[in-house]
A and B are shown apart, each in its own frame.
Chain A
């Protein structure tokens, strides 16, 4: 399978490469050069161009996009209802961009469209990296904290816990990211349980790819 990853940093990309392979249970080829965006608003802005590029200029099967939630609305099961769209939810917004962009694209490279997998790190990828080490760090803890106005932890604290500093070097970030996600080799249930929407959505999207490809063409996105 040929896959493109759109992430916010090389460290995020390193972790994603490992996680995507664990979900798919097979190695994949990454589209080069690596795609990168400069934080949330940039991801949403460049995504249409990235999709068109992948569709017409590459033979990529799918695109994985993962962003941090920061302080935005966290995706919930209610957002999965047909036709539902929450303007403050980054998963809803990214799916919306996918939907609008690929709607009128003609077939290219033997496929209808580039497959979609969207994930949301709540509130940042360091939370995923700490999954299984600290049971207090979960999507629901963050959502409850948002609701009460008392976040259970800050992004800076998460950085401290993962890297031992608020200002890690890129190489240290990459090393730690791969170390931590590698703990989930062969069993992603903990990540999916603690981050059911942010990571769960990504995993469900990816698992749907095999079926879509075996069916001989990717179905249009509906949500």
Chain B
């Protein structure tokens, strides 16, 4: 798990630092660094697949260039990874690693590297999800979830129990449906079908609502028997009725806080603009990250770091507090 990140001159994140929890919900206006944070994680994933530069070799190179430092949870806390810029480019193009010497340190870095390869980011696209997917494209959910049908069909074949749990959860949340099914379209593709409770008719994915498809994609991740190690989801509330946002939160918690002995926790980074979703974190303000923008510079703040938060929450919902501007994280006007 990544425990902390420090930014210097990375896009709007001129000087920003943030500690991370197993679950993190980012709120804030456009341009406040939410997406930049996710981009930094994706950059980390891609550079972690290449050979690393010893940390000392970065010293003295482009001192004011972008730099991002990552820290990790025990037992890997002695490994520090830095993304930096070694050319005139404005993007980080080098990865430096600092770890204990010898085989132990090498082993720790190898483990961190393995974890970093498990970083995934999602921004669901319901148009893409509505189209039948290639059966062969079923290894893992694509970033836009275009292969949702193939992934779920494969899961039903390989792990029917996991798929049954997913389908049961889907039908409980949306009782107008009684099950999920799949249909081969004859060209190596598979189409997702949702059976209606009344009448037994099955709706093809293209006839399902945007919110229904997004919810299915979130459930697909939450019920994955072998999920990625870190998941980023942009606009987590998109298309979901406010009353059903609790189910979205539960799905994320299923990932980040699994039952003991179930599987390793998945670190979750989600973004939202929904005050209704924010309301659901009253008991866990430590999981909320306020992204603030002042001029062209963005910073992060944990909601739980606000000394007056409990007092503020006595008479107002978190979502309303955010909207008023008291908490920050609002657009400039």
Residues of A within 8 A of B (CB): 9-10, 36, 38-42, 70-72, 155-156, 159, 165-167, 169-171
Contacts and interface: CB of A to CB of B under 8 A. Distances in A.
B15 interface: no
B21 to A, nearest CB: 12
Contact of B247 (A41, A42, A159, A170): A170
26 contacts: A9-B246, A10-B246, A36-B243, A38-B279, A38-B317, A39-B317, A41-B317, A41-B320, A70-B314, A71-B310, A71-B314, A72-B314, A159-B283, A165-B257, A165-B259, A166-B284, A167-B253, A167-B257, A167-B284, A169-B250, A169-B253, A169-B254, A170-B246, A170-B247, A170-B250, A171-B172
Contacts of A39: 279, 282, 317
B276 A38 contact: yes
A117 B279 CA distance: 26
A171 B315 CA distance: 28
Contacts of B317: 38-39, 41-42
B258 to A, nearest CB: 10
Interface in B239-257: 243, 246-247, 250, 253-254, 257
Contacts of A170: 246-247, 250
B319 interface: yes
Contacts of A40: 315
B53 interface: no
B316 interface: yes
Interface string B271-292: 0000010010011100000000
B276 A166 contact: no
Contacts of B314: 70-72
B172 A41 contact: no
Given A167-B250, A167-B257, 18 more contacts: A9-B246, A36-B243, A38-B279, A38-B319, A39-B279, A39-B317, A40-B315, A41-B317, A42-B317, A70-B314, A71-B314, A165-B259, A167-B284, A169-B250, A169-B253, A169-B254, A170-B246, A170-B247
Contacts of A159: 283
Contact of A166 (B246, B259, B282, B283): B283
Contacts of A166: 283-284
B315 A41 contact: yes
B186 to A, nearest CB: 38
A97 B49 CA distance: 62
Pick the most buried of A9, A42, A165, A169: most chain B CB atoms within 10 A of its CB.
Answer: A169
Nearest to A124: B283
Nearest to B282: A39
A9 B282 CA distance: 14
Contacts of A71: 310, 314
A155 B246 contact: no
A155 B283 contact: yes
Kindly name the residue among B172, B247, B314 whose own CB sees the greatest number of chain A CB atoms within 10 A.
B314
A167 B257 CA distance: 8
B263 to A, nearest CB: 16
The 6 lowest CB-CB distance pairs between A and B, nearest first, are A169-B250, A167-B253, A38-B279, A39-B317, A170-B246, A167-B257
Contacts of A70: 314
Nearest to A168: B250
Nearest to B259: A165
Contact of A41 (B246, B284, B316): B316
A129 to B, nearest CB: 16
Contacts of B246: 9-10, 170
Contacts of B276: 38
Nearest to B313: A70
Nearest to B316: A41
A133 B254 CA distance: 28
Contacts of B310: 71
A47 to B, nearest CB: 15
B317 to A, nearest CB: 5
Contacts of B250: 167, 169-170
A169 to B, nearest CB: 4
B279 to A, nearest CB: 5
A39 B284 CA distance: 15
A155 B316 CA distance: 18
B51 to A, nearest CB: 40
Nearest to B318: A39
B316 to A, nearest CB: 5
A10 B246 CA distance: 10
Contacts of B279: 38-39
Contacts of A171: 172
B255 to A, nearest CB: 11
A41 B314 CA distance: 9
Interface string B293-333: 00000000000000000100011110110000000000000
Nearest to B253: A167
Interface in B15-52: none
B39 to A, nearest CB: 28
B241 to A, nearest CB: 11
A40 B320 CA distance: 12
B247 to A, nearest CB: 6
